[in-house]
Chains A and B, each alone.
Chain A
């Protein structure tokens, strides 16, 4: 990215933080909101909470990161697998695709309590929530990508003696990659939200769990620090997927 692209949002972010700092430090923010100043931390207080409690924050962030990575990987495998299966099997696609789309009206996050009942308090329900949230954008985008290949290209390949598997591997899968990555970028961002919800329903570690503890103890500065770390995790994962996209799609 060029400086001209980075500079404006950077300046805006700095101005925002500066305004927040002044408003919180002078007590103006707490007064306006009618709150105890303790509950309205300034950016510098959040930064110091981030530093002083780094051991406990990092420990819990790693738990959440692990859940996100495992859930996302699970969704990637199942999502791409399902997309290929539905692509190759027309009747199956016709039968299940509308149901898959309709299933998106079920808010996955609110079934987290059910998942806890089924899978207990371990990593199981978190993985299930994350995988369920990530599955849809990955599967639907990949399926769109597989179906994006123009008919004449497939016909040409057939007259060039290509078996079905050859068309899938050499033509349809590469063509679906940009779509898959679009889906993966959406998925990885929402995966972090899924992990927090999974932890809120029942967990003994992770940033979501820590947030609940801090919430009860009015540790607002560390609460904000957890939110900050969750954003960092989402941003880094998004950037990693975008980087992988650029490395694997070199023909554009």
Chain B
């Protein structure tokens, strides 16, 4: 497999503040890489760099063979932590945003967006306003919007962090089959170790600021398990402990959020 995203010695400094340092990793085509680390370790900065919204101070990032900001921007779709739905558009129009941006008519864009919209369990809510949807549904609309951008790389910045624990587990079950389809590569930033293991093929652990790569671990594989079953399984529990001790080793103290946070 070819690397879809390749980071070589990537560092980012804002004035005096060194946020990321010497980041190396590769992301294969169709792979999902979870990124965990203490708060403020530069996880979101890393996504901005991959997306081409920001330039690294040192090192290079290649996305789909291109290193320029515009090359990266053309191949990445970014899903921020807040759902960022446009309140003046209906749910389906929000999902179809990227298609509209590329100049498609409203009707054609909506038709093209509908299958993904329905696959995420949003059928019947096409013309609802975002304000009328639950938090979990809004995140699914935001995910549909990101997916429908048709980019090779999805950059998901703690997409489920704002949801309660139960809703978060059910959202993981909605997102998993789409992400596992192998059509798209994804980088998933999260502070939930279970989520990192459930949705990711591999988990990259960053240290506290300046963020460095502490290690990369294979996820045990969820098989047919739902998020709750998986989290209770022995394989997940071992992987979780391993990740937690890896985090603890580099940044002892209270910065780490517990596995069940």
Which residue of chain A is the closest to B52 with respect to CB atoms? Answer: A159
Encoded as 1 (CB less than 8 Å from any B CB) or 0, chain A from 162 to 191 comes to 110010001100100000000000000000
Stretch at the interface among A16-24, A30-38, A147-155, A203-211: A147-155
Assess whether B129 is interfacial by the CB under 8 Å rule: yes
Contact A160 B77 (CB under 8 A): yes
How many chain B residues touch A (CB < 8 A): the figure is 31
Assess whether B228 is interfacial by the CB under 8 Å rule: no
Which residue of chain B is the closest to A177 with respect to CB atoms? Answer: B88
Assess whether B171 is interfacial by the CB under 8 Å rule: no
- Which of these, A153, A161, A162, contacts B84 with CB under 8 Å? A153
Assess whether A11 is interfacial by the CB under 8 Å rule: no
Counting contact residues on chain A (CB < 8 A from B), the size range is: 10 to 19
Stretch at the interface among B32-40, B95-103, B189-197, B253-261: B95-103
Docked Cα-Cα span, A153 to B145, in Å, equals: 13
Docked Cα-Cα span, A153 to B86, in Å, equals: 9
Docked Cα-Cα span, A160 to B103, in Å, equals: 12
Which residues of chain B from 142 to 194 have a CB within 8 Å of any chain A CB? 145, 149, 151, 155, 157
Given contacts A152-B80, A156-B78, contact A251 B102 (CB under 8 A): no
Contact B84 A166 (CB under 8 A): no
Please, which residues of chain A bring their CB within 8 A of the CB of B77?
159-160
Given contacts A155-B53, A171-B86, A252-B87, contact A161 B80 (CB under 8 A): no
Give 5 nearest A-B pairs by CB, closest first.
A152-B80, A160-B98, A159-B78, A251-B87, A162-B101
Task: Show 8 A/B contacts (Cβ-Cβ < 8 Å), sorted by A.
Answer: A152-B80, A152-B81, A153-B84, A155-B51, A160-B77, A161-B149, A251-B130, A252-B87
Interface residues of A (CB under 8 A from B): 150, 152-153, 155-163, 166, 170-171, 174, 251-252
